[in-house]
Amino acid sequence: MAQINLAAQNLVGLLGGIQFPGARYEILHQSQPIQRFMGIQAGVQLKVPFDVNLYFVPSIRYNLRGYDVQLEIPNGQPHPDAIENSIRLHNLETAVLLQFDLGSNPNHIFLGGGPSLETHLSGTEHYLKSNGELVKQPVSFARDEYGRYSLNLLAEVGLETRSGWFAYGFYTYGATSISNRDYAPAIKLRSFGISLGKYLNTKKIILDTRNIE
């Protein structure tokens, strides 16, 4: 008697959640005060078996990122007279993660991590000048302005259930600056949050070969 268990299939999952974006914002290597805000995350991911309890989990996610910063040191971005700067970015993130499931129980904790490439699709920038003038403008993605792409490192810890539901907390560490301007601030995006998701095809398939000769 023999059975072939095809439970280790490729899974497709939908996810969404909240996050609290910010940034590491430095002028002349001096960190500037940052205030976080509430953003969102939504996307789709695959879970592909790689080794025992180890999975390849690529995903595509929409992120609302950005930051609010108080500029204690004058600089040219966004303007020499700016004392406050707020940016909201609509980003598309492509992540390539490895996930390790702790144990073989269908209800289990998992750990994940890996790099991602974030594409900044569009955004809005507000800045306050020292004379009280408030300026609102679209984020300019150009050689001497803000970059269209940034690289991140991601870490996740979560819980996956027998029915295919999963929830995880995550931290996003921006590895590259989003500023393209020479002698401008180093602006590396950061975020943490919680997401909830569901795999759409979690039914186990077992082929009984007892009557196959």
The number of helix segments (H) and strand segments (E) in the chain equals 0, 14
pLDDT digits 0-9 by tens, 144-174: 899 999 999 999 999 999 999 999 999 999 9
Round to whole Å and give the CA distance between 208 and 1: 8
19 or 209, which is more confident = 19
Q: Please tell me the predicted confidence (pLDDT) of residue 74.
A: 87
Q: Where are the alpha helices (DSSP H) in the chain?
A: none
What are the domain boundaries of the chain? Answer: 3-208
Q: Does domain 3-208 have CATH number 2.40.160.20?
A: yes
pLDDT digits 0-9 by tens, 32-86: 999 999 999 999 999 999 999 999 999 999 999 999 999 999 888 999 999 999 9
* Confidence check: pLDDT of 212 > 50: no
